[in-house]
Amino acid sequence: MKPLRIVLFVFLLVFVGLQLVPRGRNHTNPPVTGSPEWSSPRVEELARRACFDCHSNETKWPWYSNIAPISWRVVEHVEHGRSELNFSEFDKPQRHADEAAREVRKGSMPLNDYLLLHPEARLSEEETQELIAGLEATFGTREPREPSDDGGGR
């Protein structure tokens, strides 16, 4: 065999092998047990568009979320996102809900690499402002300026 073919063959083997790692196959959508009382239907609509894939149990799993190694990152985002804030489990305390407006204002949420692949989740400047105001109205707000207030969130 030519060296190039050997290299390609090894890549193929590794790629196929990666698919056998169970990590990327944990695509769960547990039941919705409690929803927030959204201050308006519009906020809910925007949050569903921009946040629900990672912060709810109603995740839309894209086709590439089945393909390692991308699947590992997608699953990590969803598991970590849900553990920080889950809009589908408002029967449980959600201690980061009042940081939601701030995360959007800072531009840290939604995550950038998610937006790259999810143009529908990109919000216009106006929609972003609407979402921030709505999140504040729904969950209140916690700005990190008072040091005692940060709660060691991270």
134 near ligand HEC, rule: CB under 6 A? no
100 near ligand HEC, rule: CB under 6 A? yes
Give Rg (Cα) of the chain: 19
Phi-psi region of 75 (alpha: psi -120 to 50; beta: other; left: phi over 0): alpha
Question: Residue 103 Cβ, how far from ligand HEC at the closest point, in Å?
Answer: 4
Burial class (CB in 10 A: 0-12, 13-18, 19+), 43: buried
Question: Residue 104 Cβ, how far from ligand HEC at the closest point, in Å?
Answer: 5
Distance (Å, whole) CA 92 – CA 117: 31
**How many residues form the binding site for ligand HEC (CB under 6 A)?**
21
Residues that bind ligand HEC (CB under 6 A): 50-51, 53-55, 77, 80-81, 84-85, 96, 99-100, 103-104, 109-111, 114, 153-154
